[in-house]
Amino acid sequence: MSFKFPYRTWLGVAVAAAALVAATSGYAQDAKPKLDTGDTAWMLTSTALVLMMTIPGLALFYAGMVRKKNILATAMQSFAICCLVSILWMICGYSLIFDDGGATQAYIGGLGKMMFAGVTNETTNSLAGTIPEWVFIMFQMTFAIITPALITGAFAERMKFSAMMWFMALWLLLVYVPVAHWVWGGGFLGGAGVLDFAGGTVVHINAGIAGLVACIIIGRRKGFGTANLAPYNLTYSLIGASLLWVGWFGFNAGSAAASNALAGVAMVNTQIATAAAALAWMFCEWIVIKKPSLLGIISGAIGGLVAITPAAGFVNPKGALIIGIVAGIGCYIAAVHIKKALGYDDSLDVFGVHGVGGIIGAILTGVFADVAINEAAKDASVGAQIYGVGVTIVYTAIVSAIILFVINVVIGLRVTAAQEEEGLDITLHGESIQE
């Protein structure tokens, strides 16, 4: 008995097979992340917000806290650093963090993307696959800009402008770039499980420790402890702090690298922690000196922003609340009492706010990380966080000190006593604020 397979059946099988091949091919294409206009729009916005944190945010925040004769020089530092870092980022900074370094990948990236080589309108970065690489480049550039700019507050009113520029260029390449690679670029700290959502370790501990080292090496301001070194215009500082607070939503929520729920919870956490830290500092001050100050509440707010930075995309709002309270109290103690006890002149409390706030936030990320917020939290470890903090502190302190010593030998770090007395605005830049 013969069995005939109807040709219509063969045709059906062929059509089904073709459909299966097409479907499989389509799935393979879909597996590659597609550029998303919503994500791109959000990241463009976040990038602009983070750039605003440095200019005009940080420039005004710092300028308002120095004396009148140094306001323009202090603001000038933030603006000049923005320009300097932008060029260094294009030349090699981006490549050394995010390009595959081959055998040295654990410690530093490669030079394959120098001058943005190989970047096109179609390329993406594996850390943010739904946005163009151009946008990722610019977003990360704004982080590289603000980090060295933060350091300037520690040695405000006494460093040569030329020395400052040399220090920032060398520090960016020898300190910021390696640490950023270790945490975000595929280096050994990220591989060890160190969590840093938006830069608690890379940005704030890094800058805070460098600031502490710098202010100790350069020495105290003339008249420290005896003369009136009070801020000239805290209204400038209030405006600057407000711009920093708003810009920080780009800093933290933007680090989700997408317009999604993770960005939303990072934004909520940022607001809660900042408010809690501001109130905590204010109440500490109110209890101790009986008067809540504007400088105190805005300093507390910045401390809260710093502390929630590494945790923003890993913790829930309850965790953010606790982090904010602890940061407000901890930063107040460090910036006011520890600084006074040890006698170092950290002019604008870079270590007390950014260094201590970053350490608190980094460690508490390991305590409060919540898998319901971010699956990566399942690997959270206080031990890993402490390891990341320790490595960053030791490396940053040593290399920053070496850079400063070399610059001091070659061109000198500090302005003359006469220049410091007259003010850096007129002596270094030939300008002054007119009444």
CATH number at residue 370: 1.10.3430.10
Q: The dihedral of CA 238, 239, 242, 247: what is its sign? A: negative
> Is residue 402 scored above 50 in pLDDT?
yes
| Maximum Cα interatomic distance, the chain, rounded to a whole number of Å | 114
Q: Give domain status of residue 392, yes or no.
A: yes
- pLDDT tens track for 284-322: 999 999 999 999 999 999 999 999 999 999 999 999 999
Q: Give domain status of residue 15, yes or no.
A: no
What distances in angstroms separate CA 330 from CA 359, 369, 371, one per listed residue? Answer: 10, 20, 27
Contact by Cβ (8 Å): 171, 400: yes
Question: How is residue 34 annotated by DSSP?
Answer: P
**Pairwise CA distance, residues 107 & 32, whole Å:** 28
Q: Give domain status of residue 346, yes or no.
A: yes
Q: Give domain status of residue 27, yes or no.
A: no
Q: Give domain status of residue 382, yes or no.
A: yes
Q: Could you give the residue ranges of the DSSP H alpha helices within 53-185?
A: 59-63, 71-88, 94-98, 133-151, 161-171, 177-184
**Pairwise CA distance, residues 85 & 93, whole Å:** 9
> Is residue 168 scored above 70 in pLDDT?
yes
> Is residue 13 scored above 50 in pLDDT?
no
Q: At what angle do helices 317-332 and 294-308 cross, to 10 degrees?
A: 130
Rounded percentage of the chain residues whose pLDDT exceeds 70: 91
pLDDT value for 33 = 66
What is the rounded average pLDDT of the residues 154-178? 98
**Pairwise CA distance, residues 376 & 297, whole Å:** 33
When divided into structural domains, the chain yields a total of 1
What distances in angstroms separate CA 232 from CA 222, 245, 321, one per listed residue? Answer: 17, 22, 33
| Beta bridge partners of residue 159, listed in sequence order | 414
- pLDDT tens track for 52-67: 999 999 999 999 999 9
> Is residue 45 scored above 90 in pLDDT?
yes
pLDDT value for 34 = 86
Tokens 């040399």 locate to 166
Residue of 276 and 106 predicted with greater confidence: 276
> Is residue 349 scored above 80 in pLDDT?
yes
> Is residue 435 scored above 90 in pLDDT?
no
What distances in angstroms separate CA 215 from CA 208, 209, 406, one per listed residue? Answer: 11, 10, 16
> Is residue 180 scored above 50 in pLDDT?
yes
Confidence of residue 32 (pLDDT cuts 50, 70, 90): low
Picking from 174, 80, 145, the residue whose alpha carbon sits closest to that of residue 404 is: 174
Rounded percentage of the chain residues whose pLDDT exceeds 90: 89
**Pairwise CA distance, residues 27 & 9, whole Å:** 27
**Which residue type does 267 have?**
M
Least confident range from 26-35, 227-236, 408-417: namely 26-35
Please give the backbone phi and psi of residue 299, each rounded to the nearest 5 degrees, phi first.
Answer: -65, -40
* Cα within 13 Å of Cα(363), Cβ side: 12
Contact by Cβ (8 Å): 357, 303: yes
> Is residue 6 scored above 80 in pLDDT?
no
Q: Give domain status of residue 13, yes or no.
A: no
- pLDDT tens track for 68-99: 999 999 999 999 999 999 999 999 999 999 99
**Pairwise CA distance, residues 282 & 292, whole Å:** 5
> Is residue 4 scored above 50 in pLDDT?
no
> Is residue 150 scored above 80 in pLDDT?
yes
What is the rounded average pLDDT of the residues 198-210? 98
**Pairwise CA distance, residues 80 & 310, whole Å:** 27
> Is residue 398 scored above 50 in pLDDT?
yes
| Residue 55, C-beta contacts closer than 8 angstroms, at least 6 positions apart | 78, 79, 82
**Pairwise CA distance, residues 184 & 18, whole Å:** 43
- pLDDT tens track for 214-258: 999 999 999 998 999 999 999 999 999 999 999 999 999 999 999
> Is residue 144 scored above 80 in pLDDT?
yes
pLDDT value for 84 = 98
Q: Give domain status of residue 112, yes or no.
A: yes
Within 10 angstroms of residue 45's Cβ, the number of other Cβ atoms is 15
| Beta bridge partners of residue 125, listed in sequence order | 128
Q: Give domain status of residue 21, yes or no.
A: no
> Is residue 416 scored above 80 in pLDDT?
yes
- Residue range(s) defining the domain that contains residue 272: 36-429
